[in-house]
Amino acid sequence: MRLRGVTGPAGRRWRAVVASVAAVGVLLSAGCSGDDKSESPSWQGASGSPAPQATLSTVSVTSPAADASDVMASVDIAYQSEDPANTSVEVKDGEGNEVKGTLDKDAKIFRPAQALGWGQKYTVTVTGTPSGDKGGSATSSFTVMKKPSTLVRVMSFLGDDQTVGVGMPLIIRFGRSVPEKYRADVERRMQVTATPAQEGIWHWTSPTEVHYRPQTYWQPQTKISYRVQLAGVPMDDGWYGRSDLTVNVKIGRSFVMTVDNKSKHMTVTQDGEVVKSIPVSLGQKKYPSASGTMVVIEKKRKTVFDTLDEFPEGEGYRVNIDYAQRLTWSGQFIHAAPWSDGQQGKTNVSHGCVNVSMAMGKWLFERTLMGDPVTVKGTEDKLENGNGWTDWNMSWDEYKRGSAL
């Protein structure tokens, strides 16, 4: 641009100012259009124009603390990152072997797939954005506690690949009582995955046993995997979990039994359809059957009932029993009772059990699974919670109150 009418030094000064303003204009234009590369060709790798660099994210290992010793074997490794979606975490043992696990980028936590080795040293490397030598990274090491001598056994009632009924609770038992102040942390480390997903919760039935059930009966054919990570986790003052365990089970078809004292019949429903109505005889008034919801605890094709030491003299008995299915710890069973065939469907003559004919005892026995629910209605007695697997004898609100969380 030519400045008319300005000559000499003043003219040169004006030309310098205009040139400076033009340069600033170029810079401002580049800044305002920087988000749209199509409007800024010089940002597309053009000759003489350097490409922009991604901002390095600041990363750090926040837990366990650097050089910490006496770390729990079932530890979660926490980190900090400004760009967690593009941050990686690598954990290696003292021999350089990589530790497998899952990375929760929302919580910024790496969870090892299994308990770490007693007394072993581990190194954590967190790499930010961009990755590699150009990116921010942080390294930290820690050492797991030595194996303690005071360990608590952790046991699952169910084993891998079992198929159970829709009322089956998941049951974890401990070899030592767990005080209340430790139960919340123990419960957090017991994870249940159901396919399809169903809402459920843990419920402490005693200081040594905790159960899990969904809000309603399990959906038929549900696949369940539950993982208990308690190795090295404090479970009492000076006591630690012995081990981790993972169990996979399957729910079978829906098979629900309902016994009505008024009609003296059992209604059997399979997958929502009534498939059988069976005459029964329940407990006589002196020894009434308990009303409530139970599940099949165990099955015995043949057994012996011996009550000589339980009932008054002259009322006890010892008798061979076929097709016995336990419902309570106190001795309430469904079983074949051919001696009461004439009373079944009419009157109650048992000592608390659900009597059925030999044919119906066999029919039921061949179809039931452990965990199939049985509800008895209309008797003079009520089922006491804890007398068997009575998880379904409680409302959902009542059951949730049994959780430490």
Residues 156 and 134 in one domain: no
28 assigned to some structural domain: no
Residues 111 and 191 in one domain: no
142 compared with 12, residue with greater pLDDT: 142
Residues 159 and 268 in one domain: no
Among 296, 193, 330, CA closest to 249: 193
Residues 180 and 196 in one domain: yes
Residues 268 and 359 in one domain: yes
pLDDT at 54: 52
DSSP sequence for 336-388: E-GGGTTTTTT---BSSSEEE-HHHHHHHHTT--TT-EEEEES-SEEPPTTSS
Element (H, E) at 12: helix 8-32
Radius of gyration of the chain (CA): 35
Residues 273 and 374 in one domain: yes
Q: Is 70 in a helix, a strand, or coil?
A: strand
Residues 323 and 304 in one domain: yes
Q: Which residues contact 264 (CB under 8 A, 6 or more apart)?
A: 279, 280, 281, 282, 344, 345, 346, 347, 348
CATH number at residue 109: 2.60.40.3780
Domain boundary (252, 274, 299) is at 252
For 225-282, what is each residue's pLDDT tens digit? 999 999 999 999 999 999 999 999 999 999 999 999 999 999 999 999 999 999 999 9
219 compared with 33, residue with greater pLDDT: 219
Size of the chain in residues: 405
Mean pLDDT for the chain? 88
Is residue 118 over pLDDT 90? yes
19 assigned to some structural domain: no
How would residue 47 be classed by pLDDT, with cut points 50, 70 and 90? Answer: very low
202 assigned to some structural domain: yes
Count of domains for the chain: 3
Could you give the CA distance from residue 192 to residue 225 in angstroms, rounded to a whole number?
A: 6
pLDDT at 56: 60
pLDDT at 51: 53
Token representation of residue 151? 């360990």
Dihedrals φ, ψ of 76, to 5°? Answer: -95, 135
Residues 259 and 388 in one domain: yes
For 129-172, what is each residue's pLDDT tens digit? 765 444 589 999 999 999 999 999 999 999 999 999 999 999 99
372 assigned to some structural domain: yes
Could you give the CA distance from residue 159 to residue 395 in angstroms, rounded to a whole number?
A: 28
How would residue 318 be classed by pLDDT, with cut points 50, 70 and 90? Answer: confident
Lowest model confidence (mean pLDDT) among 83-87, 104-108, 190-194: 83-87
9 assigned to some structural domain: no
How would residue 52 be classed by pLDDT, with cut points 50, 70 and 90? Answer: low
98 assigned to some structural domain: yes
Lowest model confidence (mean pLDDT) among 49-58, 343-352, 366-375, 380-389: 49-58
Residues 136 and 155 in one domain: no
CATH number at residue 389: 2.40.440.10
Residues 264 and 377 in one domain: yes
pLDDT at 347: 98
Among 230, 252, 241, CA closest to 168: 252
Domain boundary (112, 144, 176) is at 144
Its domain, for residue 227, covers 151-252
What's the average model confidence in pLDDT over 342-355? 97
pLDDT at 317: 83
Residues 159 and 224 in one domain: yes
pLDDT at 287: 94
246-to-133, 152, 156, 191 alpha-carbon distances in Å: 39, 17, 9, 10
Residues 248 and 265 in one domain: no
CATH number at residue 200: 2.60.40.3710
360 assigned to some structural domain: yes
How would residue 311 be classed by pLDDT, with cut points 50, 70 and 90? Answer: confident
Is residue 346 over pLDDT 50? yes
pLDDT at 308: 81
13 assigned to some structural domain: no
pLDDT at 310: 79
What's the average model confidence in pLDDT over 15-31? 41
What's the average model confidence in pLDDT over 49-62? 69
CB 79 within 8 A of CB 60: yes
Domain boundary (218, 233, 252) is at 252
Give the dihedral of Cα atoms 181, 183, 188, 192; nearest 10 deg: -170
